[in-house]
Structure 1
Amino acid sequence: MEFILLVPFILGVIDVGYVYLQPEPFYDTIISGAISSPEYRLGAQYFLLRLDQHLLMRHVWQLGVLVVLIPKILSFIEKGEGDELKSILNKWLLIFWGILMMMAILAIMYALEKMFETNLFHSLIVIGNNGGIITFFLYIALFVIGIIPIYFPTILYGYPQQIQAMAITKSEEQPEDLKFGLDKQVVIEKFERLKESRSYLNQNFNLTECSRELEMPSHHISYFLKQQYEVSFTEYKNKLRMEYAKQLIENGYLETNTIEALAQECGFTSRTSFSKTFKTLVEVSPSAYGLSFR
């Protein structure tokens, strides 16, 4: 069944191969005709089909595939309702499908005009003598395809695919630690290694750096921390820093160093932000906490 999708490609390869094997004057005739009469360049005859026929066939195939995909797209959209990442992916998928559908329809209209050498859709021509709304929207579609990933940046990382259990039945629920493809134990081990490396004490340590060290997409990290510990990445990072600060204070760090030094040691750029965070999480100031251990 999938072989049908390759028909335009196979016919194109045959025709291109035929042109390539012909004497040089044959190719020169096609090129000179396209230069001298660009409005008729799509009428160039290859071996099996003309260029405009190739164009029409390719986009008719595209339109057919997009129509066949409708039930699968609807089925995919219904899955994972309520998940923010899935909602973003659904929007991107619908917009991308709509743009491809519009491009296929407009390209078919354009190819038909060139095949019949007439303005079949003359009423749509609104831009100049040689252009029209068809060409205009084709350019717009190509532009939108390029900026969609910028508007939906999370799709650049890839939506977490759900791991399928080998023996799962329809009546069974998928284990929580496999939800969205995240193995809880594996991720916990990664966070344990992060604690041991103490990378979180680096003043420049952020979600991007954490993603690089754990070799996980940043939105996976945020999702896991929210689901597992009910905290954001910043809250988790500050909690680790405060635990380290408490250890230093308990070991007498403030007896020979200042709070400013302690703040820098724990990854903060200022005493004020460190003291505020410490008091929020520990409920006492760093100096008061140190006094309790003297």
Structure 2
Amino acid sequence: MDDKFTWKWQYILLFVPFLLSIIDVTIVFSNPAPYYNQIVENAINFPKERFNAKYGLLNLNEHYSLRHLWQLIYLLSLLPLLRRFLDINPNDKLKVILNRWLLLFYAALTLMAFITLFFGVERMLGINTLNVSTTSLYSLQIILFLVLLLISIAPLYFPSILYGFPKNQLLVSSSISNDTNSNSQMYGLDNRELNNSLITIEQQEAFLKQGFNLKACAELLHVPAYHAAYFFYQTKGISFTSYRNNIRVEKAKQLIDSGFLESNDLNTLISACGFNSKSDFEKTFEKLTTTSYNNYQLK
């Protein structure tokens, strides 16, 4: 939710459950070997009681509940910051994607913290108000962990989530939103200068190089990757990937029309246009031209 991470001394409080567990582990291993062996033996012989066994300052149930209580408290403390962030430019296409992912991620984390804390406290008190079996509890936890895993993997398929949101630049540019030149200074960036740089990059045929991605383009534009992502969305109306693929497909059409394939094979054409594989080339070509590569070549 911020442009960058800045350490604050208050963050030490987040490590309280971890520090307590380190203390208890130290207490356990500072005792003679029979002490540790007895713990293991009791855990094997009385598995249901192992969470109530006190090994140091706290027992496992208390460690478990404290960890999730800490997580829940911290997540709830983030609510005001989350609300303010969601209200920033909520109609922006890329921001909508980021907001949805962030809300889903926050909800899943909060739900997991609440459910695990609830059952942890129940186990500490020796009650079962909802008559939920241990197996059902573990199944629920596994489902929540899978949901979190899926959400964590999502940015790999929607990289715009990882690029963040240039909040500081937006706040700077909002002061000139009424200016007639505000479009050229969107998000605090000089879009006119970036467009000129982009033309130079195209002339150098950098988009036709294999492995040319948003990060590489951002380096040539001399801006962070998330700024470059917003630059393409706001000035071109499409993502960097779509913009790059358009250039590559147009290059492929030019080469085919000029008789390139009369003296070269398909793999040479694919490489010359920056695609990684035949399947990638054919899929992208058909998507952008609404006709297959083979049909285009026949025409």
TM-score, reference length from structure 1 = 0.67
| 1:253 equivalent in structure 2 | none
- Local SS of the residue matching 2:58: coil
Gaps of 5+ in 2: 1-9, 263-268, 275-280, 290-299
| 1:44 equivalent in structure 2 | 53
| 1:259 equivalent in structure 2 | 258
1:164-219: per-residue Cα shift (whole Å, max 9, x none)?
499x59855596566457553674465245234324456xx6xx634354246988
Gaps of 5+ in 1: 249-257, 278-294
Give the counterpart of 1:211 among 195, 209, 214. 214
1:27-59: per-residue Cα shift (whole Å, max 9, x none)?
111112112221111112122111111111111
Higher relative contact order (CA 8 A, sep 6+): 2
| 1:93 equivalent in structure 2 | 102
Matching of residue 142 in structure 1 with residue 152 in structure 2: no
| 1:255 equivalent in structure 2 | none
Change (3 A) 1:172 1:68: same
Give the counterpart of 1:15 among 6, 10, 24. 24
| 2:166 equivalent in structure 1 | 161
Superposition deviation, residue 110 in structure 1: 2.3
- Local SS of the residue matching 1:131: helix
- Local SS of the residue matching 2:259: helix
- Local SS of the residue matching 2:128: coil
Tell me if structure 1 keeps the 8 A contact 2:248–2:273. Answer: no
| 2:132 equivalent in structure 1 | 124
Give me the whole-angstrom Cα distance separating, in 2, the residues matched to 1:21 and 1:33.
19
Give me the whole-angstrom Cα distance separating, in 1, the residues matched to 2:249 and 2:183.
25
Change (3 A) 1:50 1:195: same
Change (3 A) 1:150 1:58: closer
Matching of residue 197 in structure 1 with residue 204 in structure 2: yes
Tell me if structure 1 keeps the 8 A contact 2:61–2:123. Answer: yes
| 1:112 equivalent in structure 2 | 121
Larger Rg: 1
| Aligned-residue CA RMSD (Å) | 4.2
Count of residue correspondences? 251
1:163-242 map, 5 Å: 163-164=168-169, 173=177, 179-180=186-187, 184=191, 187-188=194-195, 190-200=197-207, 209-211=212-214, 213-215=216-218, 223-229=230-236, 233=243, 237=247, 241=251
Tell me if structure 2 keeps the 8 A contact 1:53–1:115. Answer: yes
- Local SS of the residue matching 1:11: helix
Amino acid across the alignment from 2:217: L
